């Protein structure tokens, strides 16, 4: 028999959807940052094109705020009947004239025979960070990447 106080807590947990990762946990995962010796408008446009070329669907683009959100289509998983999807959030900030900071945060959502529904979590490290930053550097051209600590902020 459950104590009286435990049952309401259990009920709230079940109704709130314990199978998903709450947004309040995401503060633990910091976005990865890179700096580029290009204007924010140029980096923004190149980032949109890069994500679309890599198969992402851009779901939100706010040039004035320097924010981009994109997602992959559903991808098959190694587990039969399961799927996963990646979400990318990019925030671009103008530093000094001609310098832009790009912050990326990658989320992975998985759905399958877990009994909990969809789980979504922010990833501290993943190959998608390197892929996007590398593609951005290639698209912006030689001498576009700035080593950490070199932007004049």
- Percentages helix, strand, coil for the chain (3-state, rounded to 5) are 30, 30, 40
Digit-coded pLDDT (tens) for 9-32: 433 343 444 444 444 444 589 999
> What pTM was computed for the model?
0.76
Other C-beta atoms closer than 10 Å to the C-beta of 25 total 10
**Window from 15-24, 38-47, 90-99, 111-120 with minimum mean pLDDT:** 15-24
Domains observed in the chain: 28-146 (3.30.310.220)
Dihedral angle computed from the Cα positions of residues 38, 41, 42 and 44, in that order, rounded to the nearest 10 degrees: 110
Distance CA 73, CA 83 (A): 10
Among all chains, which residue has been given the structure tokens 């001498």?
143
Q: What is the pLDDT of residue 148?
A: 77
Residue for token pair 């759905």: 111
């Amino acid at each position: 028999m459950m104590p009286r106080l435990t049952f309401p807590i259990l009920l709230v947990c079940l109704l709130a959807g314990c199978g998903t990762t709450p947004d309040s946990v995401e503060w633990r995962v910091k976005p990865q940052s890179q700096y580029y010796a290009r204007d924010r408008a140029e980096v923004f446009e190149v980032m949109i094109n890069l994500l679309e070329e890599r198969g992402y669907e851009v779901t939100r683009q706010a040039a004035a705020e320097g924010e981009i959100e994109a997602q992959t289509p559903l991808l098959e998983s190694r587990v039969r009947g399961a799927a996963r999807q990646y979400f990318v959030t990019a925030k671009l900030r103008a530093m000094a004239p001609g310098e832009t900071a790009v912050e990326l945060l990658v989320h992975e959502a998985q759905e399958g025979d877990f009994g909990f529904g969809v789980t979504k979590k922010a990833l501290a490290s993943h190959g998608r960070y390197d892929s996007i930053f590398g593609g951005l550097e290639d698209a912006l051209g030689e001498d576009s990447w700035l080593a950490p600590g070199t932007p004049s902020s």
